[in-house]
Structure 1
C-alpha cells in the first residue's frame, strides 16, 4: 500500500511539472518531504533530510558555479568570439562543412561551459554565423543543440554530479562516454547531411526586433580588442586538468578562469573575475537550486523507512538487459515534457530509489542516464535552452523536437545496447546471491565459539570463566588462540570469536581492574564489546571471575534483545549491521603515523576484491584521500558504494575496485531459522 501511495506522489508531481503548475525547483524538494511522510520517516528526521539535502551535492553545484565563472570569463574577454571568428575565417565556402566545423567548436566549448548564460552567449555567436554563410535556417537550431549535447557528454560539472550522486569514478565511465560521443557525432553528421539534402530555404539572420535581442547580440567581447592566440586554448584547459591530472572540477575551472583573464585583460583581472563570478552565479542559480532539491531526494531514500518502502518499486529487474534497454532506450522519449524519466525532473526520484535499493550497478545506471540525457538535451521543448534557440532562429520548439527525435531516439537505444553489450557493470555485477563465497561459516561451525585471551594471568582466568559459563548456556566452546581476519570463513571451525582482555589502571584509591569481552564474527568483524571494572587495592582472581561473569551476562542479554542478529551470528558466522544497509565490510582509519589504513572483514566483499587489513590507502576513486578530508574518507567505508582504491604494496601500488556489496536484508531473509 505504501509503495502505491509513493507512486501516486511520483505521478502527481510529474503532472504538476508537465503542466507547469509547479516548477521542478519546488516540485522535487516537495516530493522528497512528502515521500518521507508517506513512507513513515519520523518527523524529527525531516529537518535532517532538508538540511542534509542542501549540502550533500555541494561538490556538484560548486563545480557548476565555477564552470559558469569560466564561461563568463570566456565570453566577456572575447575568447569565444575569437574562436568562432577563426573558424569562420578558415571554414571555407561549403556551408555543410562550415556548419560541422562550428558544431565541433560548440561541442568543445560545452565540455567546460554550462548554464543557460553560456548557451545564450555561444549561441549568439554561432547561430548568426551559421546563417550568414548559408546554413539553412531550420537546421541551425537543431545542429547547435546536437553539438551542445555532444559536448555535454564530457561536461566536467555534469561529471562531478555523476561521481557525487551515483558514486562512480571517471575512469570506469570514460570508455562508455567515448563510445556514446561517437554515436552522438554520427547522429549529428547524419542529420546535417540529410538536412542539407532536403532543405533549400537558405535564410539570413533575422533582425533583432526587441531591445533585449540587440543587447544579447551586442556582446561585451566586441569591445575587448584582439585576443591572443594562446587564450583560445584556455576553454580546453579544464579537460586535461580534470581527466588526466585529476584536479577537482572547482580547481580546474578556477585555474582556467584566472589564466584567461590574466592573458586577455591583465590590467583588469580583478574586475573581470568579479564581474564574471556575479553574472555566472546568476546564470546557474536555477541549476544550483535544482541540485539542492535532488540532494534532498538522495538523503531521503537513504532513510531506513524510505528504503523499505521503495523496495517493491526499485527491484533488481532493472539490471536485466532487456529491461535496461526497454527503460533507457525504447522508453527514452519519456524524458520529454519533464516526463517520468527526466533526470532533471521526477525521474531523479526513480534513480535515487534505484541507488538506495542497490538494484543496479551505479556505473550502469549512469550509462542509462547519459542515454536519456542525449534525448532530453536536444529534443525536450520545455528546456529553456531549446526555447531560446527556437526564438533566436524563428523556429518552433515542437518542430525542432520532431526533426531531431528520430536521431536522438536511435542514439539512446544504441547507447543502452552498448552499455549492456560492453558489460559496463561487469566490474560491479549484481550478486546472484546476497553474499560472496567465504562470507559464512560452514554448517559444522554453528554455535561454536572460540574464546581467546590476551596472554596475561588474569586474562586467562577471565577467559576460562567465560568459556565455562557459555558452555553452560548451550554453546560449544573452544579455548585457543585465533586471528579471524587472516582468512575467510569457508573452512572455519567456529562461527564466533570472543576475545577476553584485562586492563589495569593504577589510581589513588587502588587498582582499577577492567575485564573486557569483544565479540567478533568468524571473519573478524566486531559485533559488540562489553567492559566491567572494579577498584580494589589488590585485585584477586575472585574479582576477575566476578567481572568476567558480568560480561557474559551482558553478552547473553544482547542475544536476547537481538534474536535475529544473534541467530545469524552464532549459526552462520556473520555480523549483520544494525541498520541493515548494504555493506562491504571494511573500515578506513587514520593511524598516528598519518597514514590511512584499512581493516577488512575476511570473506567480505572488500576481502574478495583484494583488500587486506593493515594496508595503506593512498587514493580513493582516483584522488588522494586527504583531498576529501579524514572524516569524509573514513565515512566512505559505510556508504555502500563501489569505490576504487590505490593501496601500497612494497615499493609499488595496486588498484582495488569494490564489486557488489552484501545486502543484509536479503541475507536475513535467506537465513531464516
Structure 2
C-alpha cells in the first residue's frame, strides 16, 4: 500500500510541476490542487486537509504578504510622486552606458547586504533601490530578476544566521560550514557573472570580454585572499579586527541617526517656510527626496526596526520630502493601489502556504492530537533513506539527477521538509559534511529558480514577468551550480 501511495504522490508532484513548468496550468490553481492531493494520498482525512492544510495554510505566510503590501505602497508612492522616475534618470546619468559594470556592482551590493539581512521585507527594500538602477542602463526585466535572485542566494549562503541547520542538526562547527560556504560563494558568484554576461550579450549589448574576464578574476581573487588571510590569523588578531569593525559600525550608526534627524528637521522647516511665505510647493523633486527608498533599509540594517514599521517611516519621510498640494490624496491612492498591485502575488502566497502545510504538516495544531507525526513526511522518509549514496560517484550522480526535486517544495527543498530532510539523511549514516554540501549545492536551485519562493513571486509581479519564466531562464545555471557544488562536496567529504 505504501509503495502505491508513494508512486501516486510522486506522480502528482511531477505532473503538476511539469504542467506548471510548461505553463499549461497556472501556479494559482496548481499549488492548491497539489496541497489537497498530496496529504489525501498520504492518508490524511479530508476534513483535516480542509482545515489544517487549506484553511491554516492560506494564512501561513500572512506576515510575508502583509510586508509585501506595505512595500508595494512605498513603491507606488515613489512612482506617483515622481521620485522613482527622477531616481532612474539620475542613476542613468551617473552610471552611463555600462550595463555589465552596473550589473556586477548591484550583484555585489545585494550579496553584501544579504550576508546580514533576510526576509521578504528586506528583499523589497533592497529591490526598491537596485531594480530602477539596473533598469536605467537597459538591463531587461528577466535579467534583473536573475541577477537579484542570484545575489540574494549568494548572500544567503554566506549569512551566518542561515547556518543554524548545519550547526545544530549536523553538529558541524562554524569554521567547517564557513569553509564550504566560501567554496559555494566562488562557484555561484562566477556562475552569476557568466549569467549576466550571456544575458546581456543575448539582449544585444556590446561587451568587452577581455575586460570582463580580468575584472571577474580580480574580484574573486580579492575575496579568496581576504578569506585566507583572515583565517590564517590567530584568535586574538581576529577578535581585534572584529572589535575594530564593531567600533566603526557604531560610529557609522550614530552618524546615520544624526543625518536622518537633520533630514527630517530640514524637510519640516522647508514645509513651514513655504507655508509662511505663501509659496506654491514646486513640482520638481528636491534632492532630499532621493533618500526616501533608503530610509527603510537603513532603519532595518542599523537600528533593527520591524519591516512594516520601517516601510511606514519611509512613507512618512517621503510625504515630508515632497510635500505639496494634494500630497495626502497621493498618499491615500498609493495605499489603495499598492495593495491592489501586489494582490496577484498575495493570492499566489495563499497557495504556497497551503503547499507548505501539505508537505511539512500544520505544526502544533496537528502534533498535539497525532503523536505519530504528519503522514506525508512518514511516507517520504523510507524513500529518502533508500536513495542515500555511499560513494563519490553515486553521490554526485544521484543528487544531480534529483536536484529538480528542490523545486515546488519537493523532497529536496530545505524549506519544504526543512530540518526533517537533514535528520533523515543523518540517521541513515551519511557524512554530515556531505549533507551540508547537498543542501547548499541543490539549495541554489530552490533559492534562485523555485517559483514558489515569495521573493520570486514578488519580483515577477514587480517586474511584470511570469514567475515561470524566471525558472526557465535560471534553471540551467542553478543546476550547473548544484552539479559543481556536489562535486566539490563529494571530493571533500565522500573520498
TM-score with structure 1 setting the length:
0.42
Once the two structures are superposed, residues 176-226 of structure 1 have per-residue CA deviations (whole angstroms, 9 ceiling, x without a partner) of 9998777655444445567778997769xxxxxxxxxxxxxxxxxxxx944
| Larger strand share, 1 or 2 | 1
2:356 counterpart residue number: 298
1:87 counterpart residue number: 91
SS state at 2:59 partner: helix
- 1:27 deviates by 1.8
Question: Are the equivalent residues in 1 in contact too, given 2:147–2:192 (CA < 8 A)?
Answer: yes
1:313 lines up with 2:313 in the alignment: no
Once the two structures are superposed, residues 415-458 of structure 1 have per-residue CA deviations (whole angstroms, 9 ceiling, x without a partner) of 667899999xxxxxxxxxxxxxxxxxxxxxxxxxxxxxxxxxxx
2:36 counterpart residue number: 33
Question: Are the equivalent residues in 2 in contact too, given 1:237–1:256 (CA < 8 A)?
Answer: yes
- 1:371 deviates by 0.7
2:149 counterpart residue number: 149
Larger mean CA deviation between 193-202 and 234-243 belongs to 193-202
Once the two structures are superposed, residues 378-408 of structure 1 have per-residue CA deviations (whole angstroms, 9 ceiling, x without a partner) of 9x9x98978998999xxxx79x967x66654
Give the 5 Å matches for 1:359-438.
359=424, 367=440, 370-373=443-446, 375-376=448-449, 407-413=477-483
- 1:74 deviates by 3.2
- 1:412 deviates by 4.2
1:277 lines up with 2:335 in the alignment: yes
SS state at 1:359 partner: helix
- Change in 2 beyond 3 A, CA 1:59/1:324: farther
Question: Are the equivalent residues in 1 in contact too, given 2:83–2:289 (CA < 8 A)?
Answer: yes
Once the two structures are superposed, residues 231-253 of structure 1 have per-residue CA deviations (whole angstroms, 9 ceiling, x without a partner) of 43443444444355433332233
Distance between the aligned counterparts of 1:177 and 1:82, measured in 2?
Answer: 39
SS state at 1:252 partner: helix
1:246 lines up with 2:304 in the alignment: yes
2:235 counterpart residue number: none
Give the 5 Å matches for 1:42-61.
42-49=45-52, 50-61=54-65
1:286 lines up with 2:344 in the alignment: yes
Distance between the aligned counterparts of 2:399 and 2:154, measured in 1?
Answer: 19
Distance between the aligned counterparts of 2:184 and 2:310, measured in 1?
Answer: 24
1:341 counterpart residue number: 406
Question: Are the equivalent residues in 2 in contact too, given 1:111–1:151 (CA < 8 A)?
Answer: no
1:352 counterpart residue number: 416
How many residues align? The count is 367
Question: Are the equivalent residues in 2 in contact too, given 1:57–1:292 (CA < 8 A)?
Answer: yes
- Change in 2 beyond 3 A, CA 1:201/1:19: closer
2:270 counterpart residue number: none
- Change in 2 beyond 3 A, CA 1:312/1:147: same
Question: Are the equivalent residues in 2 in contact too, given 1:29–1:293 (CA < 8 A)?
Answer: yes
- 1:376 deviates by 1.6
Question: Are the equivalent residues in 1 in contact too, given 2:406–2:413 (CA < 8 A)?
Answer: no
Which has the larger Rg?
A: 1
Give the 5 Å matches for 1:201-280.
225-265=283-323, 268-280=326-338
| Unaligned stretches of 5+ residues in structure 2 | 115-119, 169-173, 208-281, 367-372, 427-434
- Change in 2 beyond 3 A, CA 1:240/1:7: same
- Change in 2 beyond 3 A, CA 1:314/1:406: closer
- 1:16 deviates by 3.4
Question: Are the equivalent residues in 1 in contact too, given 2:67–2:308 (CA < 8 A)?
Answer: yes
- 1:12 deviates by 3.0
- 1:228 deviates by 3.6
Question: Are the equivalent residues in 1 in contact too, given 2:414–2:443 (CA < 8 A)?
Answer: no
SS state at 1:341 partner: helix
Distance between the aligned counterparts of 2:57 and 2:333, measured in 1?
Answer: 29
- Change in 2 beyond 3 A, CA 1:67/1:384: closer
Question: Are the equivalent residues in 2 in contact too, given 1:153–1:177 (CA < 8 A)?
Answer: no
Question: Are the equivalent residues in 1 in contact too, given 2:36–2:49 (CA < 8 A)?
Answer: yes
Question: Are the equivalent residues in 2 in contact too, given 1:103–1:143 (CA < 8 A)?
Answer: no
Distance between the aligned counterparts of 2:18 and 2:446, measured in 1?
Answer: 20
Distance between the aligned counterparts of 1:262 and 1:416, measured in 2?
Answer: 52
| Unaligned stretches of 5+ residues in structure 1 | 132-138, 204-223, 335-339, 424-673
2:254 counterpart residue number: none
| Larger helix share, 1 or 2 | 2
SS state at 2:424 partner: coil
1:470 counterpart residue number: none
TM-score with structure 2 setting the length:
0.55
- Change in 2 beyond 3 A, CA 1:77/1:37: same
Question: Are the equivalent residues in 1 in contact too, given 2:141–2:463 (CA < 8 A)?
Answer: yes
Distance between the aligned counterparts of 2:457 and 2:418, measured in 1?
Answer: 25
Question: Are the equivalent residues in 1 in contact too, given 2:356–2:416 (CA < 8 A)?
Answer: yes
Distance between the aligned counterparts of 2:312 and 2:461, measured in 1?
Answer: 30
- Change in 2 beyond 3 A, CA 1:124/1:347: farther
- 1:312 deviates by 2.2
Once the two structures are superposed, residues 614-653 of structure 1 have per-residue CA deviations (whole angstroms, 9 ceiling, x without a partner) of xxxxxxxxxxxxxxxxxxxxxxxxxxxxxxxxxxxxxxxx
1:68 counterpart residue number: 72
